[in-house]
Every structure is written in C-alpha cells, then in structure tokens.
Chain A
Amino acid sequence: MGHSLHLTVDGQEHTLVVDSRTTLLDALRDRLGVMSAKKGCDHGQCGACTVLVDGRRLNSCLALALTHDGAEVTTADGLAPEGELSTLHRAFLALDAFQCGYCTPGQVCSAAGMLAEAADDAPSVVTEDLEGPVELSEEEIRERMSGNLCRCGAYVNIVAAVSRAAEESR
C-alpha cells in the first residue's frame, strides 16, 4: 500500500514511499531520521511535534504525511541552518527556557510560527481589540504558546525568551 511522497525537510529534498497511515511526524522520525520533531502524545494534545509546514506551525502528529506531499517542512534544527542559532534559539538558551529539552524544538517552532502570526496582526482570544494591531504582551505570548506543554515547568522562562526574541527581531 505504498504511496510516493515528496518532502523538503530543513532544506533537504526527499522522495520516499510511505504507508497511507504514516503521519508526517512518523515520516520524519522513522523514515527520514529527522528527530528534531518530538512525539509527546501523538494526538495533538501537547505540541512537541510542532513543525513549520510551508511557514505555518502545525502538529505533525495529526497530519497524514500524504496530505503534505510537496510541502516544505522546517524543524527547530532547520531554523538554525549550518548550525547558526537563530534569535529564538539564543533567547531560549540564555534565559534557560527549557529543562529536559524534549518539548523544546516544538516550542521553538511554535514560537517562530506565532511571531509570524502576530506580525500579521492575527488576534488571539486575549486580544482586547480584535481589529487593532497586536502588541505581544506577556499575556499574549502565554496564550499563543499554550499549545505547547512543558512538564518541567519552564513556562516563565519560555515567555521571557519569546518576548526577548520578539523584541530583538523587531
């Protein structure tokens, strides 16, 4: 029951044959050996598998790989091309925005996607004026990062790191 699939992952092109049941996450981890995207719950309930698909943050565990045939997938590793850490990566490091590190690549991808959404003035549920420009207050960051669980409890530092990255990339 093989189907052909073409993916660009962190700038590298791959053509492979997958089972129709294979999720994008399992294609990355089990087929391509791309381990930056993590499996925490496999049901869209934790965010550890968050990657950027054509620039938007998605839970790769709830996407069939075949749905994304031809897509460009970026993991947290791909956000650091040639090993050059991005502003976000550096803020996470400097502010100790992780402990065990397992949710971290998902947090980084989610933050990257979220910063782009906010730059487009996409509102969140805590945005008071739905039509106004988005100010990335701590409250906004907390809400927008709530799709990424961290059991070590690094939220306070994650908010600080995302806030710093937002300021630096402004």
Chain B
Amino acid sequence: MSDLLTTTSVGTHQVRLDGPDKVRGRAPYAYEHPLTDPLYLYPLQAEIARGRAAHIDASAAEAAEGVVYVLTADNAPELASTDDGELAILRSAEIGFRGQYLGAVIATTPEQARHAAELVDITYDQDDHDVELREDHPAAREPESGSGDVRTGDVDTALAEAAVSIDERYSTPMEHNNPMEPHTTVARWDGDSLTLWTSTQGVHPARSTLAPVLGVEQEKIRIISPHVGGGFGSKGLPHADMMLTALAAQAVPGRPVKYAVTRQQMFSITGYRAPTLQHIRLGARADGTLTAFAYDAISMSSQTKEFPEESTKPGRMMYAGDNRRLTQRVVPLDVPVPSWMRAPGEAPGMVGLEIAMDELAVAAGLDPIELRVRNDPTTDPDTGLPFNQRRLVDCLREGADRFGWEKRNPQPRTRQENGWFIGMGVASATYPAGRQPGSVARIRRTPEGFEVSIGAADLGTGTWTVLSQTAADALGVPIGQVDLRIGDTALPNATVAGGSTGLASWSTAIVSAAQELRSEHGADPAIGAEAQGEAEANPAAEKFALHSFGAHFAEVRIQPTTGEIRLDRMFGMFSAGQIVNPSTARSQLIGGMTMGVGMALHEKGELDPRFGHVVNHDLAEYHVPVNADITDIEADWLDEKDPHAGPLGARGVGEIGIVGAAAAIANAAFNATGVRVRDLPIFGDAFLPT
C-alpha cells in the first residue's frame, strides 16, 4: 500500500483551467496553430478492397492549378521499418482494404488539392475480397496479441447438469469513434528535423511509434498537441494519416503541410471498434449461483494489421463459477484496421455478458441484481488474486436505491403510459485500474510558483485541470501557483491517455517529482530549482486484481405501433477510488454513458460486403446521439480512496461509463416489451410485428 497524498484541491470542484479559451474557441487544436505559408494535402484512396493499383496517372493533377506535388508509391520515400502494416504505407501497388491510401496531392489551397486529387486516374487490378465476419469463418484463429483462452473444470457437463441455463448468441456491430475533431496532422520538415502538430492521445508514444518507421531519431521529431478534440481511443495509436502527411511534407521542406482527415475518410483510416460475435452459455443452480460459464467470441480483424477486440476480457473476472471456458478468435479480413474505441473488449463484452445475465435472471426467476450479488466472487476468477476494492454489490444496491429500482415490475410488458411501454434494466460495469510506468514529470520553481511539465494529453478528460490540482496538493500550494505544461515532446516523457491509465500514471510522476524537489531542494526551493520524478510500475499489480466497478440503471420507453424507442432516464453508480475533480469526473462518466446510449440505440457502421467499405460514412447516416436523445443521465460514485491505485488513491474514469451501459438499455427494452434484442444496435424494427 502506498502512502496516500494529503488532499486539499484534489477532491474539490475546479472549473476547467482550459475552459475560458475553449468556450470562445481560442484553444488551438492541431489545425489551428498559426504557421506561415502552409500547403494543403488531399489523399488518394483505393476504390477496391483487394488487388493492385496497376497504374496511377497523375499528369492531369500535376498540371492543375496550385498543385505542388503528387505523392504515390512510385516516388514515396523509403521507410526504415515496415513491421506495422497500418503505417507502412505506399510501399507497393498492393491494396489490402478499400480506402487505403494510394498517395496524396499537395497544393496551395485546400480547394485545389481536393480537386487535383479527383484528377488522378487510377487503374485497378481487382481481386476477390472477403469482408464478412461469420462464426464459422475458416480463417478464424487465436489472436497473436490476445490474452489466451481459459479452460477450467468441465463446462459441457456442468451445462448439461445445470438446473437453469441459457445458450444464446449476441453481436455488436462496427462502431466508429467519431471524435468531433477529425484527425489532423500538420507536418513540417526543417532539414532532418520533423515537427508535427497533430491530434494525439500521446505525443511521446506517437513519436516512438513513428520514428523507427520513418527512420528518424526520436530526438529529431517534435510533436505538439496541447488540445485534442476528443479521441475515445482513435487518437491513441498513430494512424496512416499521420504517416502520409509526414511523408508528403518531405517533398516541400520548410513548409507546413496540413491535412485534416475528412469525416468520410475517418471511417476507413482512423480505426474503429471491430464487430463481435459472442456465443454465451451459462449454467446455474436453482438459486442462481453459476456452475458453468462458456463464452466463445470472434471479432473482425484486418489483413493489414491484427487488432483483437477481446470481448471475452470482462468475462474472465466478472463472476464466479467453477467450470469455465473462454475462447477468443479473430478473423482477418480485407477491411480497414480496427483499433481502440472506448473500453475495447470491455464495452462489447459487457453487452453480451450482461444481457446474458439478465436472461439467466429471468430463467432463474431472480431479480437481476440479486443474481449478480449471488455470483460476486471473493477473489479474481482469472488470476486468483484478491481484488483491490471490489464494490460491485455496493454500486448495485446504492444505485438501485437512488434509481427507484423497487418500482420495477419484473414481469415484462406491464407498464404503459400514453401508448408507450416503459421498462427498467440494470447491468454491471467494470474496467481495469491500470497504471503505466515511465511517465516523467519535471517541476521547476519560478517567481510565480511552480512550472510543472509532463507530455500528457487532454482530450476532454480534464488533464489540464486535474494534473494542476494534483501538483498543487503534491507541492502544498494553491492551484494558482501551478503552471502546467502538457502536450509536447519537448516536455518530459508521458505515457498514452488510454485504457483509463492517464490520471494514475501521470499523477504518480508528478507526486514523485514534488517529493524529489523537496528532498533535493528543501521545503522552500530557490527560484530556478528543479527536480524530476518518474512513475514506476504499480507494485500492487503483483498482489491484487485491480479494477473499477459500477452499475447502470436505465428506463426506456417504446411505442409499440411505430417501434420508436427512447431513453427516459439513466443512472450510473461507480466505484473508482478517489475522484480528483467531481465536475470533470461526472462529465466523463455521463459522457461514457451517453456514448453507451449511442451503442445501444444508434451506432452501426454498415459495411457493404460487395464494395468493402462502410457506406453510411458520415454523421448524417452514422447516428450518434443528439441532444434530444439524452433526456436525463446522472452519475455518482462511492466515497472512497483506493489504497492500491497510486498516491492519489484514484482510478481513471474515461472508460467505465460506457461499459455495461448498452446492456442496461437492452435489458430495459426487454422489461418494457418482452422482446429480447441480442444484436446491437436496438432499432425500433425489433418491436414491430413482422
């Protein structure tokens, strides 16, 4: 157990420090840094899903007004490494997915670049492609980078002998992160040095990923990203757009090249949540206690680069049961490269599992909360370790009280108002409490106070604010004396804002730096004195299974004659350790739940198997929730500190808000209508007579 920091600012409401600039639109995002004489890039993209770009005729484009350069595989600079299939672009004529970059046009104005790109004539040799995920796909295999199967006891016998059982298939669709700020990179080469103003969840990780591909020493690359317009995982790993811009800019040394990915291009370039197929079988005694747990899942991956969407992850640790089997497979197809999207693995996994638990509750004649309570394990079923703080049951019970769960009639289709059926549903939430080693913070005494530097990222997560609060308490000064610097590789190394690890990792470095400053320079360091501190790996990870938990409660209404389904209200109760800033944490949790509403009711990338691309590739056709969809969502948390999370006792809350949210809504829809929807999203069609 580490010593917890004495907190003054941490734990209190603090208005976002970057807020005054953001409400006016003055905080510069990647595209918006004032730079002299920029050029504009527009990409060339494959219009087939598999084959070759046999010939690219760029002569008309090169002759067009304003065009400075046309980049293709024919003239692209060499790469030092081609290990990363997503980043190793423009190596050959081969095409692995529709939308793959085949080149780029650079011109004096954005209009000229886009028009010239249309003038490039590409001749294709088309091969047959395969973009359809199915359970019996012959190419299904164990992922190279997966967590491995789980096999304990005898699941088949336990299922056969179970007093109560369910055996169902669930699916989640292709979902797209769609942060409001499209992925943007501005690249400028000055000699052998590269500066990137880009939109990333981690400047240092992006640099260490790009440098070996470009064959440039890390020190020669500077990445600047003080403000990020949302990411939700899609800006966690550099995507091909960053490479394309960096490569193209080599042709015009000294001039910044700007490329903002269009919304349509984002659907094939910047990652997405891979669709999953989940076969879940649960067996229980008559009292609901689980005896058998079988979970076989498949997710779509890309021939270009593997990414397993491990929906079985939460199933490994959520519930008890002696006989267990979990298998995870991927099917590599001729599709764009999937990547992180808010709670990868957990978010789709807790759709299947938490609907299945609701079905088991119905089969066992139990209240779904009681079923979960009866299956709450005392130690982690996956590792056998004790939990840091497993307070799922507290979240379920407290949440039920606050939500008014006792008013729910367990009999479906029994509550009707003005022609609408109304129902309530519940689902559990969980997310690992990770902390990454390697972040470094530097603190320097200045005449005004303390300059605190760390290359962290704020993508709406509140980093500017919560790290300032952390530094204030670590230094024992008012927050006004803290001058935080983030989002620049010129600052000390920081790990990625991903996996809800940012806060725990970076705050550990800051607290450590403050301790160093005190031990090296005393309680009142002289102006100019500075010290660095580094976040080490969390030693508690060896001894405990570290997780956050929560419970979602949803009430929906469904119009049976038109099929319309709307959220009435939703409440989430969470256990996430110390909450550093109640304002920003509440926003993040509600934001995750709001995205969960989209997952439940709206979001689906329609991949047309004939063409191989997502055809509803814009924000008019790919629906995310609008303001009118979100009637009433509230989130709260248990008052606690996690002694095993780090010096703040805090666990990140970026992802847990979405985990389980969609299942709570699906379960509410069942309670409202008696219709069990197992394939997301829940469109109104499901409730109409066929």
List residues of A whose CB falls within 8 A of some B CB. 19, 21-22, 26, 29-30, 33, 35-43, 45-46, 48, 75-77, 79-80, 83, 85, 89, 92-94, 96, 98-105, 108, 141-143, 145-159
Whole-angstrom CA separation of A77 from B320 in the bound complex: 55
**Interchain residue pairs with CB less than 8 A apart (25):** A21-B115, A26-B111, A35-B26, A35-B28, A38-B180, A39-B182, A40-B180, A41-B619, A43-B618, A43-B619, A76-B23, A80-B24, A89-B24, A99-B460, A100-B228, A100-B230, A102-B179, A104-B22, A105-B24, A142-B628, A143-B628, A153-B595, A153-B630, A156-B594, A157-B587
Whole-angstrom CA separation of A130 from B462 in the bound complex: 41
Closest CB pairs A-B (n = 5): A153-B594, A36-B25, A100-B460, A102-B229, A99-B460
Whole-angstrom CA separation of A39 from B180 in the bound complex: 8
Across-interface contacts of A48 in B (CB, < 8 A): 180
Select one of A76, A96, A158 contacting B25, CB under 8 A. A76
Contact across chains for B260 and A39 when beta carbons are under 8 A apart: yes
Residue of A nearest to B65 (CB): A1
List CB contacts (< 8 Å) of B176-190 with chain A. Answer: 177-182
Select one of A96, A98, A159 contacting B586, CB under 8 A. A96
Tell me if B446 counts as interface (CB < 8 A to partner A): no
Contact across chains for A146 and B587 when beta carbons are under 8 A apart: no
Q: Which of B40, B625, B627 has the most CB of A within 10 A?
A: B627
Contact across chains for B109 and A30 when beta carbons are under 8 A apart: yes
In the complex, how many angstroms separate the beta carbon of B631 from the nearest chain A beta carbon? 7
Tell me if B615 counts as interface (CB < 8 A to partner A): no
Tell me if B495 counts as interface (CB < 8 A to partner A): no
Interface bin, chain B: 35 or more
Tell me if B476 counts as interface (CB < 8 A to partner A): no
Stretch at the interface among B13-21, B135-143, B299-307, B466-474: B13-21
Across-interface contacts of B22 in A (CB, < 8 A): 98, 101, 104
Contact across chains for B586 and A42 when beta carbons are under 8 A apart: no
Across-interface contacts of A93 in B (CB, < 8 A): 15-16, 19-20, 23
In the complex, how many angstroms separate the beta carbon of A145 from the nearest chain B beta carbon? 5
B contacts with A: majority SS: loop
In the complex, how many angstroms separate the beta carbon of A156 from the nearest chain B beta carbon? 5
Whole-angstrom CA separation of A151 from B28 in the bound complex: 19
Known interface pairs A30-B110, A41-B619; A92-B583 also in contact (CB < 8 Å): no
List CB contacts (< 8 Å) of B1-44 with chain A. Answer: 15-16, 18-20, 22-29, 31-32, 34, 40
Residue of B nearest to A91 (CB): B23
Across-interface contacts of A146 in B (CB, < 8 A): 626-628
Tell me if B651 counts as interface (CB < 8 A to partner A): no
Across-interface contacts of B18 in A (CB, < 8 A): 101
Q: Which of A39, A42, A101 has the most CB of B within 10 A?
A: A101
Whole-angstrom CA separation of A105 from B109 in the bound complex: 25
Select one of A89, A147, A151 contacting B23, CB under 8 A. A89
Whole-angstrom CA separation of A151 from B176 in the bound complex: 11
Across-interface contacts of B28 in A (CB, < 8 A): 35
Tell me if B593 counts as interface (CB < 8 A to partner A): yes
Whole-angstrom CA separation of A106 from B321 in the bound complex: 51
Contact across chains for A42 and B587 when beta carbons are under 8 A apart: no
Across-interface contacts of A102 in B (CB, < 8 A): 29, 179-181, 229-230
Contact across chains for A100 and B587 when beta carbons are under 8 A apart: no
Whole-angstrom CA separation of A155 from B633 in the bound complex: 9
In the complex, how many angstroms separate the beta carbon of B37 from the nearest chain A beta carbon? 12
Contact across chains for B27 and A101 when beta carbons are under 8 A apart: yes
In the complex, how many angstroms separate the beta carbon of A109 from the nearest chain B beta carbon? 9
In the complex, how many angstroms separate the beta carbon of A166 from the nearest chain B beta carbon? 15
Tell me if B461 counts as interface (CB < 8 A to partner A): yes
Across-interface contacts of B593 in A (CB, < 8 A): 153
Contact across chains for B591 and A149 when beta carbons are under 8 A apart: no
List CB contacts (< 8 Å) of B107-152 with chain A. Answer: 109-112, 115
Across-interface contacts of A150 in B (CB, < 8 A): 180, 627
Tell me if B227 counts as interface (CB < 8 A to partner A): yes
Contact across chains for A152 and B230 when beta carbons are under 8 A apart: yes
Contact across chains for B628 and A40 when beta carbons are under 8 A apart: no
List residues of B whose CB falls within 8 A of some A CB. 15-16, 18-20, 22-29, 31-32, 34, 40, 109-112, 115, 177-182, 227-230, 232, 260, 262-263, 459-462, 583-584, 586-588, 590-595, 618-620, 624-628, 630-634
Residue of B nearest to A101 (CB): B22
Across-interface contacts of B34 in A (CB, < 8 A): 33
Across-interface contacts of B25 in A (CB, < 8 A): 35-38, 75-77, 104-105
Q: Which of B110, B587, B592 has the most CB of A within 10 A?
A: B587
Select one of A33, A103, A142 contacting B631, CB under 8 A. A142
Known interface pairs A99-B587, A155-B630; A19-B111 also in contact (CB < 8 Å): yes
Whole-angstrom CA separation of A30 from B37 in the bound complex: 11
Whole-angstrom CA separation of A98 from B182 in the bound complex: 17
Across-interface contacts of B115 in A (CB, < 8 A): 21
Select one of B27, B263, B625 contacting A42, CB under 8 A. B263
Contact across chains for A21 and B111 when beta carbons are under 8 A apart: yes
In the complex, how many angstroms separate the beta carbon of B594 from the nearest chain A beta carbon? 3
In the complex, how many angstroms separate the beta carbon of B349 from the nearest chain A beta carbon? 21
Known interface pairs A45-B263, A101-B460; A151-B110 also in contact (CB < 8 Å): no
In the complex, how many angstroms separate the beta carbon of A120 from the nearest chain B beta carbon? 21
Whole-angstrom CA separation of A38 from B179 in the bound complex: 13
Contact across chains for B461 and A99 when beta carbons are under 8 A apart: yes
In the complex, how many angstroms separate the beta carbon of A158 from the nearest chain B beta carbon? 7
Whole-angstrom CA separation of A96 from B591 in the bound complex: 12
Select one of B20, B110, B179, B586 contacting A26, CB under 8 A. B110
Contact across chains for B595 and A35 when beta carbons are under 8 A apart: no
Contact across chains for A99 and B24 when beta carbons are under 8 A apart: no
Whole-angstrom CA separation of A26 from B260 in the bound complex: 12
Contact across chains for B618 and A151 when beta carbons are under 8 A apart: no
Whole-angstrom CA separation of A153 from B587 in the bound complex: 8
Across-interface contacts of B460 in A (CB, < 8 A): 98-101, 152
Residue of B nearest to A39 (CB): B260
Q: Which of B32, B228, B459, B591 has the most CB of A within 10 A?
A: B591
Across-interface contacts of B180 in A (CB, < 8 A): 38, 40, 46, 48, 100, 102-103, 149-152
